[in-house]
Amino acid sequence: YQPDAVGAVGHMEVYPNSRNIIAGRTVFTIDIRSPEKEVLDAMDGRIREGIDTICDALDIKYQIDQVGHFDPVTFDAGCVKAVRDAAERLGYTHRNIVSGAGHDACWINRVAPTAMVMCPCVDGLSHNEAEEITKEWAAAGADVLFHAVVDTAVIVE
């Protein structure tokens, strides 16, 4: 599913949570992301099939609860280009990334042309209480956003 698909087990609870006792129950989350719905569906199917096969072979009961689902979002090409052009013109390093975290921009994109400016986090740690950004990175992100907005602004009469 590469290069753009990713998956992670972000939370795990093991009972009785002792290093020398075989677990009797485990609860965990699986988060999968891809810019393509077909790939997400294939990943979901493969995960479910794998869990079923393993649990069947070991006579283990399991339950899957889907607690969230977001179809992939494609942002407005003009807005994305404006962000990229602003970053290049201002001399900032940049790259396209795939994000599937359900950002507000995904919902705004349904009613208005949208793109996102992502800034790096210290030690790459994001979506975490310890997330941190330098003032310089924040200023660079705001600079890119400002120029992208000005470049795409039109006067409506």
Please give the angle made by the CA atoms of 30, 34 and 39, to the nearest 5 degrees.
95
Residues of the chain with CATH 1.10.150.900: 77-152
DSSP symbol at 12? E
Report the CATH architecture of 77-152: Orthogonal Bundle (1.10)
Amino acid 121: pLDDT: 95
Q: Mean of the pLDDT values across residues 27-55?
A: 96
Q: Give this prediction's pTM.
A: 0.76
pLDDT tier for residue 15 given thresholds of 50, 70 and 90: very high
- Joined together, the tokens standing for residue 145 give 């956003």
Q: Is the pLDDT of residue 127 over 90?
A: no
- Joined together, the tokens standing for residue 27 give 């609860």
Q: Is the pLDDT of residue 101 over 80?
A: no
